[in-house]
Amino acid sequence: MATRMKIAIASDHAAVELKAELRDWLIEQGHEVADLGPDTTDSVDYPDFGYKLAGVVADGTAERGVALCGSGIGISMSVNRNPAVRCALVGEPLSAALSREHNDANVIAMGARLTGSDMAKACLTAFLETEFGGGRHQRRVDKLSNPN
């Protein structure tokens, strides 16, 4: 099992149900989880929740983040607007693990309309249990926040 972490989770209206299931599952795994909303399926704008999630990961309130929307695309784009955050859109565990090992991703994004509950949990497990490889990857990761 992964080390217990502080994890923030946010979605748009299309992923509220998956968010609730993953939140509860993460708590069962022993993690401290901050649910940043929304709480209903009323229509919302994914950038609002993506920016909120990125902020708490960037300022260290959460060690990792989980971003969800219908496809995972829109919310991952909004999360990645913050230069301190590296959000990887994944759909299976190998990509989730490689996002950590090679890219030091601190947020994982998934699409609720594309990724079932069991696959989302498998992706989260790989994401949380994989350490950053460092070495040759560090220089590349550094360039993500400092392109010059």
Put residue 66 in one of left, alpha, beta given phi > 0 → left and psi -120 to 50 → alpha.
Answer: beta
Cβ–Cβ < 8 Å for 47, 74: yes
23 found inside a domain: yes
Q: Is 81 flagged in the annotation as binding? A: no
Q: Is 140 flagged in the annotation as binding? A: yes
Domain tally, the chain: 1
Q: Is 145 flagged in the annotation as binding? A: no
pLDDT in tens, 103-139: 999 999 999 999 999 999 999 999 999 998 777 788 7
Cβ–Cβ < 8 Å for 11, 67: yes
Give bridge partners of residue 88 from the DSSP assignment: 108
Q: Domain with 84 in it: what CATH number?
A: 3.40.1400.10
pLDDT in tens, 13-69: 999 999 999 999 999 999 999 999 999 999 999 999 999 999 999 999 999 999 999
Give bridge partners of residue 64 from the DSSP assignment: 7
pLDDT beyond 80 at 2: no
Domain residue limits at 116? 6-145
Active-site residues: which are they?
69, 102
137 found inside a domain: yes
The residue assigned the tokens 């392109």 is 147
1 found inside a domain: no
72 found inside a domain: yes
